[in-house]
């Protein structure tokens, strides 16, 4: 009887020592290369630990540069230390309306969401303020990917209510951290004067990770999350290269997870080049997948029409695209233009002006139109 091939992974075996390490919301115990930003954030938060209002902050940096992880790590430490300062992290890519943001704050303070129908915004905020006054708690709100609130024209409203709450509800103390991943957003230009006058934030910049920093972080995840010998040094370097090329650390972490799963699917004890290349084809579209998921149905419809139009080749101007959109939907031009401006801000397409007879708006997609259609369907 022939022996079992030792390279074959048995049905009850796995390559993953700790699969949690590769999840998007994992907070590593050892968080390297962001010590300066963490110190600055801790300084901004410090007044809240003593019962005062935390200093307002803007965290700015490209996607995958450690902004969210820094906030989550600090918020975890706050929750382990005190009940008087309540930190709440809101994902504005998902909760991108005023009511949705304050519903998440209400849930953090009360333990449950407000009723989905028959509840006004005023009732929700009244309840939030009453809890803060009664418990004598300080609130610290992190608006993650706050650029999505901006795309929905909600950022000014949300900040105004948070920052001026003490005027209507004496004794309430609320600090705000605005996290921005769209480097083209200039808050000094988009915020109302009545918001700017009370916001006055300190900006903390999160630069892209260097090649060596990416190499170290990916190496730590491999060591923690995979069993020894699963990934050869040569293929580890390939993962680092693909991560650096994408410019987003999250792509590399997702790539490791998918490559490991690809190897397991083949019942192999080792991750091979084909597993990594196959994984990269999916992981490189992380931004596209999450962006499409966050779109409203009519926005998805417009993006789908543009993608199908782009598949035919040739240039696209906004007027021609709108004629197609109008045939398939009942959207007016104003709403159509709002949508394509949002898609431009979200880096799903480029909207450029070209001088001719008047100023023509030209549309080009940032992603392969076939891929866009795949994620929309």
Tens of pLDDT along 43-84? 999 999 999 999 999 999 999 999 999 999 999 999 999 999
Lowest mean pLDDT among 169-173, 191-195, 342-346: 342-346
Residue-averaged pLDDT of the chain: 94
Q: How confident is the model at residue 265 (pLDDT cuts 50, 70, 90)?
A: very high
Q: What tokens appear for 299 in the block?
A: 């926005």
| Rounded CA separation 77/318 (Å) | 49
Residue with the two structure tokens 């309306």: 97
pTM greater than the 0.85 cutoff: yes
8 Å CB contact between 70 and 54: no
The per-residue pLDDT for range 333-369, each reduced to its tens digit, is 999 999 999 999 898 999 998 876 567 889 999 999 9
Q: Is the pLDDT of residue 116 over 90?
A: no
State whether residue 298 is helix, strand or coil.
helix
Residue 365 CB-half CA count within 13 A: 22
Strand partners, 309: none
- C-alpha R_g of the chain: 24
Q: How far is CA 43 from CA 55, 167, 282, in A?
A: 8, 26, 39
Q: Is the pLDDT of residue 6 over 80?
A: no
Q: How confident is the model at residue 4 (pLDDT cuts 50, 70, 90)?
A: very low
| DSSP letter, residue 34 | -
Residue 293 CB-half CA count within 13 A: 10
Query: Integer distance in angstroms from the first to the last C-alpha of the chain?
Result: 50
Residue 103 has what pLDDT? 97
* List of domains in the chain: 35-205 (3.40.50.300), 210-284 (1.10.8.60), 289-376 (1.10.10.10)
Burial of 121 (0-12, 13-18, 19+ CB in 10 A): middle
Q: Can you tell me the mean pLDDT for 215-242?
A: 97
Strand partners, 203: 58
Q: Is the pLDDT of residue 256 over 90?
A: yes
Across 184-265, the runs of DSSP E, i.e. the strands, are 202-205
Q: Is the pLDDT of residue 211 over 60?
A: yes
Strand partners, 362: 317, 352
* 3-class DSSP string for 1-16: CCCCCCCECCCCCCCE
Q: Can you tell me the mean pLDDT for 237-241?
A: 98
Residue 99 CB-half CA count within 13 A: 10
The per-residue pLDDT for range 295-318, each reduced to its tens digit, is 999 999 999 999 999 998 878 999
Q: Which residue has the higher pLDDT, 304 or 10?
A: 304
State whether residue 130 is helix, strand or coil.
helix
Q: What tokens appear for 83 in the block?
A: 């009940």
Nearest to 218, CA basis, from 229, 206, 231: 231
Residue 2 has what pLDDT? 45
Q: What tokens appear for 259 in the block?
A: 């490559």
| DSSP letter, residue 114 | P
Q: How confident is the model at residue 231 (pLDDT cuts 50, 70, 90)?
A: very high
The per-residue pLDDT for range 19-50, each reduced to its tens digit, is 999 999 999 998 999 999 999 999 999 999 99
């Amino acid at each position: 009887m022939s022996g079992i091939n030792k390279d074959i992974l048995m049905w009850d075996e796995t390559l993953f020592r700790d699969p949690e390490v590769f999840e998007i919301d994992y907070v590593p115990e050892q968080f390297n290369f962001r010590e300066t930003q963490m110190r600055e954030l801790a300084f901004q938060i410090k007044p809240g630990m003593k019962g005062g209002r935390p200093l307002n902050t803007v965290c700015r940096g490209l996607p995958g540069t450690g902004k969210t992880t820094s906030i989550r790590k600090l918020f975890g430490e706050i929750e382990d230390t005190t009940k008087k300062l309540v930190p709440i992290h809101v994902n504005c890519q998902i909760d991108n309306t005023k009511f949705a943001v304050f519903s998440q704050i209400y849930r953090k303070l009360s333990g449950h969401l407000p009723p989905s129908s028959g509840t006004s915004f005023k009732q929700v905020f009244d309840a939030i303020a009453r809890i803060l006054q009664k418990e004598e708690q300080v609130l610290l709100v992190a608006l993650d990917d706050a650029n999505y609130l901006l795309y929905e024209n909600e950022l000014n409203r949300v900040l105004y209510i948070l920052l001026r709450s003490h005027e209507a509800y004496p004794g309430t103390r609320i600090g705000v951290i605005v996290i921005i991943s769209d480097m083209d957003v200039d808050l000094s230009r988009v915020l109302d004067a009545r918001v700017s006058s009370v916001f006055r934030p300190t900006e903390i910049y999160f630069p892209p990770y260097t090649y060596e920093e990416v190499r170290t972080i990916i190496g730590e995840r491999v060591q923690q999350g995979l069993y020894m010998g699963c990934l050869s040094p040569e293929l580890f370097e390939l993962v680092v290269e693909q991560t650096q090329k994408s410019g987003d650390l999250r792509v590399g972490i997702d790539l490791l997870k998918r490559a490991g799963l690809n190897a397991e699917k083949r019942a192999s004890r080792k991750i091979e080049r084909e597993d990594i290349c196959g994984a990269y084809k999916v992981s490189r579209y992380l931004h596209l997948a999450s962006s499409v998921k966050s779109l409203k149905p009519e926005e998805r419809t417009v993006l789908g029409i543009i993608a199908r139009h782009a598949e035919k080749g040739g240039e696209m101007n906004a007027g021609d695209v709108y004629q197609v959109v109008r045939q398939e939907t009942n959207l007016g031009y104003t709403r159509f233009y709002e949508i394509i401006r949002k898609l431009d801000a979200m880096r799903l397409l480029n909207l450029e002006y070209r001088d001719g007879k008047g100023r023509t708006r030209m549309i080009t997609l940032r992603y392969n139109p076939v891929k866009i259609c795949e994620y929309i369907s």
